[in-house]
Amino acid sequence: MGQFWQSGAAARAQSLGAATDLMIDLAAITAGDRVLDIAAGTGEQTLVAARRVGPDGHVLATDISESMLGVAAEELLKAGLTHVETRVMDAERLDLEAGSFDAVISRMGLMLIPNQQKALSQIRRVLKPGGKLAAIVWSTPERNLGSLLPSMIARRHANLRLTAPGGPGMFALGSPGVFEDVLGHAGFRDVSVQRLAAPRHFASLAELMRYLTGSTPILREPLVKLDEAGKAAMLDEIADTMRQFEGPDGVTVPGEVLVGVGTK
What is the average per-residue pLDDT within 59-75?
92
Q: What is the pLDDT of residue 1?
A: 44
Asked if pLDDT for residue 178 goes beyond 70, the answer is yes
Predicted TM-score (pTM) of this structure: 0.90
Write the Ramachandran bin of 32: left for phi over 0, alpha for psi from -120 to 50, otherwise beta: left
Q: Which of 65-69, 244-248, 260-264 has the lowest mean pLDDT?
A: 65-69
Residue 8: which pLDDT band, with cuts at 50, 70 and 90? Answer: low
DSSP code, position 141:
G
DSSP SS3 for 127: strand
pLDDT of residue 11: 65
Average pLDDT over residues 194-204: 94
- Look at residue 163 and tell me whether its pLDDT is greater than 90: no
Residues sharing a CB contact under 8 Å with residue 109, sequence separation 6 or more, in sequence order: 38, 39, 40, 41, 63, 91, 135
Percent of the chain with pLDDT over 90: 77
CB 256 within 8 A of CB 139: yes
In this predicted model, what pLDDT tens digit does every residue of 98-157 receive, in sequence order?
999 999 999 999 999 999 999 999 999 999 999 999 999 999 999 999 889 999 999 999
Domain 2-144+168-201+254-263 fold: Rossmann fold (3.40.50)
For residue 13, is pLDDT > 80? no
**Exposure letters 217-252 (e unless 16+ CB within 10 A, then b):** ebbeebbebbeeeebeebbebbbeebeebeeeeebe
Residue 42's pLDDT is 87
Q: What mean pLDDT comes out for the span 203-213?
A: 92
pLDDT in tens, 25-53: 999 999 999 999 999 988 999 999 999 99
Percent of the chain with pLDDT over 70: 93
Average pLDDT over residues 77-98: 95
> Which secondary-structure segment (H or E) carries 258?
strand 256-263
What residue spans of 27-94 are helical by DSSP H? Answer: 44-53, 66-78
The average pLDDT across 172-180 equals 95
> In this predicted structure, what is the pLDDT of residue 18?
93
Mean pLDDT across 91-100: 97
Indicate the pLDDT class of residue 166, thresholds 50, 70 and 90.
low
d(CA 133, CA 27): 6
* Gyration radius from the chain CA atoms: 18
pLDDT at 164 (0 to 100): 54
Whole-number pLDDT of residue 3: 47
On average, the pLDDT of the chain sits at 91
